[in-house]
């Protein structure tokens, strides 16, 4: 008989369970063979809208961006990618500032070409 203290992780039945386990959602559309990833924190939006967060019921809320099918979408747990570096407030601000700067520079270059 197995020891009760050696039980495995709890079963994943909801989107919140996925988030608590450190997983995201990978979506696969059988109709057009397209895949996508969604952060499983989306369960908070489901709760706010009063939608069910159980995986079998929540699946109907996900539509393929390409073919708009919701019948042919499969939800699969996906391991979250580990960040390249430690996530700190200064790293987030740094990344935001330089992404905005490159967009401003690119926009300026496009406007310059139009002249």
- How far CA 9 is from CA of 5, 22, 40, 46, in Å, comes to 11, 12, 18, 24
- Residues 15-58 pLDDT 10s: 999 888 888 888 888 888 888 888 888 999 999 999 999 988 88
pLDDT of residue 110: 47
Residue 99 pLDDT greater than 80, yes or no: no
Global pTM reads 0.59
Percent of the chain's residues with pLDDT above 90: 12
For tokens 């989306």, name the residue.
42
Find out whether 34 and 64 touch, Cβ atoms under 8 Å.
yes
Alpha-carbon distance of 62 to 68, in angstroms, equals 9
Cα–Cα distance between 112 and 105 in angstroms, integer? Answer: 10
- Asked whether residue 70 carries a pLDDT value surpassing 70, the answer given is yes
Integer-rounded Cα Rg, in Å, for the chain is: 20
68-80 b/e with 16+ CB inside 10 Å = b? eeeeebebeebee
When pLDDT is averaged across residues 107-115 and rounded to a whole number, the result is 52
């Amino acid at each position: 008989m197995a020891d009760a203290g050696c039980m495995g992780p709890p079963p994943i039945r909801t989107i919140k369970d996925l988030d608590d386990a450190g997983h995201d959602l990978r979506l696969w559309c059988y109709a057009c063979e397209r895949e996508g990833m969604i952060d499983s924190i989306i369960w908070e939006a489901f709760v706010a809208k009063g939608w069910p967060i159980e995986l079998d019921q929540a699946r109907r809320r996900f539509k393929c961006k390409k073919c708009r099918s919701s019948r042919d979408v499969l939800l699969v747990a996906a391991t979250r990618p580990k960040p390249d570096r430690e996530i700190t407030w200064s790293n987030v601000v740094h990344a935001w500032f330089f992404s905005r700067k490159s967009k401003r520079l690119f926009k300026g270059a496009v406007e310059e070409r139009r002249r």
